[in-house]
């Protein structure tokens, strides 16, 4: 079978991925930044930012001179690999062999697959349009070799499908960078006047090896198909699924409980051997009338305790309508979590948030009132109150920074609420304030604590915060936005102390 490869290149991978999660950034010029040698450097720029003159590699200070309203967001290490892996796993529906091509691409071995979509042109069109519909700036090319497909996807404006054996003519007019060469070799080629790959193909291999080493020859041979190249394929996650057919249709609650228990025993045995625990599981019940009903559970912490998981499912059995009977039960662990220690030891030894009994209690509460009701927060690296906390993913997640040593309210409002204030002196704490029509006379006050905006996030006024206590003994966190002698200074209520 003739080998065929498809290379997919994402022009703005990280910024497109972020804009997909945060739609308010879609048409905003923004960049991802990271510190490099005492400077804040742009590591990725959105299409809108590039259009106005901010590019990858520029210092943020220089970019702001060209784009005053540029929004800078801290880059996250490893984000490109994680995003590419998720996209790659989604591409497995088109071919079983998908590999990452860091930092901004995927490589698909499509040998024998394209005819299922009506040919290579329809195959390429299907994938590219699907990615663009998801919000990604994607380009793709098909060729006999990994090197030729990679080069055409990134550097050729036309003819994305290269015929069999036509690699040389396809890459001849492309720049040497299309050969995936290191910067030092590209710099030598530029000094010698090589503007495209064509002349290099006519030079004797011995001369190229003597001047540039073996790397250049290897890349040329890989692109032309003289040397085979086998990218490492992505391995999809192991599906943790168990099936239990019924000899007779099951219609009773005890029968459903027995089926759930047997499925959990089989599933938890596999998970325990792999060092994993269930975070989310779904029970699918196929009825004899052809309909399917399903229920699911989520856990606060990875668990492979059959008794605990069975208790959670018992809370959901009332939602299952067996009708004339259920003939097939399927249990899927759709989300799992690594467990470093055998769970039985955690029951006996763990304390605090690590105590499994606490996690199980939270699961039972969540099963009755809803998983979104229970939340845990961790400190975040920001002085600005709205950005100083983040939602924890699990009980095991550890804080990356310490909580503020300064007093903070128990309840922080999502949005500060406007209040009317009277102060004896403009820069003094308020003597009274009116909130929602109620007048509060201040008996005690402490402050101010000045908090300035983070210039790389947004622009605006600083805030002067005060802790105030009214005559009824209630304590509040209020602030003045802007300087006290400014004509547009406004007061707000931002939180309540216990």
Give the model confidence (pLDDT) of 32-63 as tens digits.
999 988 889 999 999 999 999 999 999 999 99
pLDDT digits (tens, 9 = 90+) for 64-98: 988 999 999 999 888 999 999 999 999 999 999 99
Query: Does the pLDDT at position 348 exceed 60?
Result: no
- Band of the pLDDT at 487, cuts 50, 70, 90? low
Q: What is the pTM of this model?
A: 0.56
Note the pLDDT of residue 150: 96
What tokens were used for 479? 């602030």
User: pLDDT over 90 for what percent of the chain?
Assistant: 62
Q: Answer for the pair 84, 100: CB distance below 8 angstroms, yes or no.
A: yes
Distance of CA 197 to CAs 151, 180, 183, Å?
Answer: 11, 12, 16
Q: How far is 172 from 174, CA to CA, in rounded Å?
A: 6
Mean pLDDT, rounded, for 449-467:
86
Angle at 129 between CA 123 and CA 131, to 5 degrees: 105
Half-sphere exposure of 406 (CA within 13 A, CB side): 14
Query: Which residue would you say has higher pLDDT here, 338 or 219?
Result: 219
Least confident piece of the model among 155-159, 239-243, 456-460: 456-460
Rounded to the nearest 5°, which phi and psi values hold at 418? -65, 140
pLDDT above 70 coverage of the chain, percent: 96
pLDDT tens, residue by residue, 411-422:
889 889 999 998
Average pLDDT for 261-272:
93
pLDDT of amino acid 225: 93
Peptide bond into 448 cis (omega under 30): yes
Q: Would you put residue 237 in left (φ > 0), alpha (ψ -120 to 50) or beta? A: beta
pLDDT at 350: 47
Report the distance separating Cα 328 and Cα 247, nearest Å.
Answer: 9
Helix, strand or coil for residue 383?
coil
Domains of the chain (ranges, CATH numbers): 1-236 (3.30.70.270), 240-369 (3.30.1490.100), 375-498 (no CATH)
If you average pLDDT over residues 336-349, what whole number do you get? 60
In this prediction, residues 148-157 reach a mean pLDDT of 92
The structure tokens listed for 65 are 């001179």
Burial class for 217, CB neighbours closer than 10 Å (0-12, 13-18, 19+): middle
Task: Select the more confidently predicted residue: 235 or 496.
Answer: 496
Is 50 exceeded by the pLDDT of residue 141? yes
| Separation in Å, CA 433 to CA 385, 407, 423, 439, 440 | 21, 21, 9, 6, 5
Among 290-304, 351-365, 369-383, which stretch is predicted with the lowest mean pLDDT?
351-365
Closest of 147, 239, 254, 238 to residue 201, by C-alpha = 147
Q: What is the pLDDT of residue 361?
A: 82
pLDDT for position 440: 94
What SS3 state is found at 152? helix
Using pLDDT thresholds of 50, 70 and 90, give the confidence band for residue 344: very low
pLDDT for the residue 347? 44
Determine the pLDDT at residue 351. 58
CA 160 to chain centre: 30
Whole-number Å distance between alpha carbons of 354 and 342: 13
What rounded mean pLDDT belongs to the chain? 89
CA angle 190, 43, 387 (to 5 degrees): 175
Query: Is residue 239 pLDDT above 70, yes or no?
Result: yes
């Amino acid at each position: 079978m003739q080998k065929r490869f498809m290379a997919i290149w994402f022009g703005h991978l990280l910024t497109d991925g972020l804009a997909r999660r945060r739609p308010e950034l879609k048409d905003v010029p923004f960049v991802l930044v990271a510190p490099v040698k005492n400077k804040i450097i742009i590591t990725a720029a959105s299409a809108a930012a590039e259009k106005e003159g901010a590019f990858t590699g520029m210092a943020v200070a220089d970019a702001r001179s060209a784009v005053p309203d540029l929004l800078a967001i801290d880059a996250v290490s490893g984000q490109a690999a994680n995003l590419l892996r998720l996209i790659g796993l989604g591409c497995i529906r088109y071919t079983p062999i998908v590999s990452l091509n860091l930092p901004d691409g995927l490589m698909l071995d499509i040998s024998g697959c394209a005819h299922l979509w009506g040919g290579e042109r329809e195959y390429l069109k299907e994938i590219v349009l699907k990615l663009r519909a998801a919000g990604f700036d994607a380009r793709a090319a098909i060729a006999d070799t990994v090197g030729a497909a990679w080069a055409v996807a990134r550097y050729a404006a036309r003819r994305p499908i290269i015929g069999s054996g036509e690699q040389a003519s396809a890459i001849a007019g492309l720049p040497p960078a299309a050969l995936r060469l290191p910067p030092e070799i590209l710099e030598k080629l530029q000094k010698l006047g090589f503007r495209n790959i064509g002349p290099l193909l006519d030079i004797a291999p011995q001369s190229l090896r003597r001047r540039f080493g073996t790397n250049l020859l290897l890349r040329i041979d890989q692109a032309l198909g003289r040397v085979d190249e086998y990218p490492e394929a992505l391995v999809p996650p192991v599906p943790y699924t168990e099936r239990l057919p019924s000899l007779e249709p099951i219609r009773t609650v005890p029968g459903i409980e027995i089926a759930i228990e047997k499925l959990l025993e089989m599933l938890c045995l596999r998970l325990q051997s792999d060092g994993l625990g269930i975070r989310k599981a779904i029970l699918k019940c196929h009825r004899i009338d052809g309909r399917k009903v399903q229920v699911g559970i989520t856990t606060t912490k990875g668990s492979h305790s059959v008794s605990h998981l069975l208790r959670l499912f018992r809370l959901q059995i009332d939602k299952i309508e067996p009708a004339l009977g259920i003939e097939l039960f399927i249990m899927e662990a759709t989300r799992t979590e690594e467990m470093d220690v055998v769970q039985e030891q955690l029951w006996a030894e763990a304390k605090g948030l690590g105590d499994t009994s606490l996690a199980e209690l939270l699961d039972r509460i969540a099963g009755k009132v809803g998983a979104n009701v229970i939340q845990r927060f961790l400190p975040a690296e920001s002085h600005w109150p709205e950005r100083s906390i983040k939602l924890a993913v699990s009980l095991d997640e550890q804080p990356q920074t310490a909580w503020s040593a300064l007093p903070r309210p128990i309840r922080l409002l999502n949005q500060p609420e406007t209040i009317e204030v009277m102060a004896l002196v403009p820069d003094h704490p308020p003597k009274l304030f009116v909130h929602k029509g109620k007048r509060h006379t201040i008996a005690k006050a402490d402050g101010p604590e000045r908090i300035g905006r983070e210039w790389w996030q947004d622009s605006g006024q600083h805030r002067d915060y005060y802790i105030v206590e009214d005559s009824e003994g209630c304590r509040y966190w209020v602030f003045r936005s802007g300087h006290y002698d400014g004509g547009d200074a406004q007061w707000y209520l931002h939180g309540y102390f216990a």
